[in-house]
Structure 1
């Protein structure tokens, strides 16, 4: 199938927000007597707050999870500014190239809508996207494919007509479970963790591109999956 829609993950893919998120998690969890280690943070990439907090807290109820999640996200948004958050190398060029070629673009993120909207505003990239689909809309985060399937529905595209750009194993797995092709970016592109998902063709094909600056043009990227 021809790729008609590109679904962008936000955190780590469009922008390297990890340091800001980690600072927000550390400050929040410290208030509850938890030393939130960096490896725990890394292992949680692509998952939603409810899933993370359910593992870290001692049998929390839904109200506690919701309250702490709101606290953490407010802490994160207070750190997001045009000075602290900028698109990763190659992202703006690819966003522009895809728009020029008439490809629909959507953000598909496990993060809360308020966060994703704040990030889009800080980077001034809202005009590139048809919609923002986030964890606010759906109860399960990646690797559940629901977010990406919702993106396809919003775009009016079949799953096989969608390409996902992701930086987490959870996101790549979600794309394959949705029968969508994917591009793994950043450190994941050369990681052993990508190997179980890596294939060059067919439904759910996935390739690694460490730096989107290396993409010559949008058409050449999409042609790899056409």
Structure 2
């Protein structure tokens, strides 16, 4: 069965990707997106790390797709884990839900699969990738992280992935020492778009959420950061640059 498009429906062609998320104007961040949506929108203005961090008390980063360039590796791993059960995972369906914990994503497939077995198989494949030496950071986020540390700001990870995957990846990139806190799906009861992972990260940094700048590449992650009361940036383009995200429609 081909899993494709929004709402888990079967299609012969991929559905349109979900629009990126909504954001109120944030005082110290310049909005980097057009005010209205057009078929060919104006280019988004790149945010420099020094201007993005003005007035910020801490930096809270998502892991997958935000600090680490793992999208294709995660998609391949989950696709391979689903293949024995006759499920061909469409990439647009996956991308629109990639900010969620994997069990939550699997629960939204229109066919039942043994979720624990699929998750375990996917995690094994991802660990192989993380240990292979091929993992790369996202340059724009890495620059922001270094700028934050140079400014003396505490930094945290707030991820929907398991702790084992995140810590293995941080070691592979030699970035463990950069973070005062790492919060993962293992420490939370509700995954993104619920705000728990961001709220726990702020608590571990001993700062109010409003003082923490969040960065997340996924729709559900942006929604989670906003629900936690954090200003948020996202990534767009190739190569990706940091922007304030525009309005979002819900992804089921």
With normalisation by structure 2, the TM-score equals 0.70
Matches within 5 A, 1:58-97: 58-59=111-112, 64-81=114-131, 83-97=133-147
Say yes or no: does 1:179 pair with 2:229.
Answer: yes
| Residue 90 (structure 1) shift | 3.2
CA distance in 2, matches of 1:11, 1:28: 18
| Residue 189 (structure 1) shift | 7.0
CA distance in 2, matches of 1:92, 1:165: 11
CA distance in 1, matches of 2:112, 2:82: 15
Maintained 8 Å contact 2:81/2:118: yes
The match for 1:142 is 192
**Cα deviation 1:41-60 (Å, max 9, x = unaligned):** 11112101111111226456
CA distance in 1, matches of 2:140, 2:229: 26
The match for 1:51 is 104
**Cα deviation 1:38-92 (Å, max 9, x = unaligned):** 11211112101111111226456xxx42232122111111112363211112333
Kindly tell me: are residues 58 and 72 of structure 1, through their superposed partners in 2, closer, same or farther at Cα, counting changes over 3 Å?
same
CA distance in 2, matches of 1:146, 1:20: 26
Q: Which runs of 4+ in 1 moved over 6 A?
A: 188-191
Which residue, out of 85, 94, 112, partners 2:162?
112
Say yes or no: does 1:195 pair with 2:243.
Answer: no
Instruction: After superposing the two structures, state which structure 1 stretch, 117-126 or 85-94, moved more.
Output: 85-94
Instruction: After superposing the two structures, state which structure 1 stretch, 93-102 or 15-24, moved more.
Output: 93-102
Matches within 5 A, 1:2-17: 2-17=55-70
Which residue, out of 176, 188, 204, partners 1:126?
176
Kindly tell me: are residues 178 and 153 of structure 1, through their superposed partners in 2, closer, same or farther at Cα, counting changes over 3 Å?
same
Q: Compute the RMSD of aligned alpha carbons.
A: 2.3
With normalisation by structure 1, the TM-score equals 0.78
CA distance in 1, matches of 2:207, 2:242: 30
The match for 1:205 is none
- Structure 1: unaligned runs, 5 residues or longer: 198-226
The match for 2:87 is 34
SS of residue in 2 equivalent to 1:184: strand
SS of residue in 2 equivalent to 1:84: coil
User: Structure with the greater relative contact order (CA < 8 A, sep ≥ 6): 1 or 2?
Assistant: 2
Q: Tell me the matched-pair count.
A: 193
Maintained 8 Å contact 2:101/2:160: yes
